[in-house]
Amino acid sequence: MLLVSATTMYYLFEIAGYDFLPFVANVLLLFVVILFFWAKSASLLNRPLPPIPNMEISERTIGMVSDELHGWINCVLAIAHDITIGCCWLVFQHQIDEKLSVADRTIQEQFRKIDETVLSRLPFFSNKEKKMQ
């Protein structure tokens, strides 16, 4: 059975040039059609309906998926942030340089004013030592 299915898959994908996605879609469509005819024939012949599994996702699974997505989305956003910063730096480099030079001059002026006010309040000591009597 394994050899037959492997040979069929090889023939479909390699020799016939069939793609994987259309194959999966056609198989799922075939399952839906089979279930439809099974359900219709069961109602006509008073037979039980085909067993359909309960479609539920546990909270644990949702939590694991959301944790993975949270980490992945944060990583993608961090990369997008870095790319955006790099693009802004390249596009607006001249404007950024101007703003940084204005900010640097302002900071230097503020430090100079602080130095002048602090130094004017401090008494200057002479280098001569006081004579001890």
Tell whether the model's pLDDT for residue 126 goes beyond 70. Answer: no
Q: Is residue 93 part of a domain?
A: no
What is the residue whose two structure tokens read 């956003």? Answer: 77
CA-CA distance, 52 to 27, in Å (whole number)? 17
Q: Is residue 37 part of a domain?
A: yes
pLDDT of residue 127: 47
* pTM for the model: 0.36
Q: Count how many domains the chain has.
A: 1
Q: Is residue 31 part of a domain?
A: yes
pLDDT of residue 50: 77
Average confidence score pLDDT of the chain = 83
Higher pLDDT, 27 or 95: 27
Amino acid in the structure at residue 12: L
Residue 32: which pLDDT band, with cuts at 50, 70 and 90? very high
Residues in the chain: 133
Q: Is residue 124 part of a domain?
A: no
> By three-state DSSP, how is residue 131 classified?
coil
Q: Is residue 131 part of a domain?
A: no
pLDDT in tens, 37-93: 988 898 888 888 877 778 888 899 998 999 899 999 999 999 999 998 888 778 778
Q: Is residue 107 part of a domain?
A: no
Range of the domain at 3: 1-55
CA-CA distance, 106 to 114, in Å (whole number)? 12
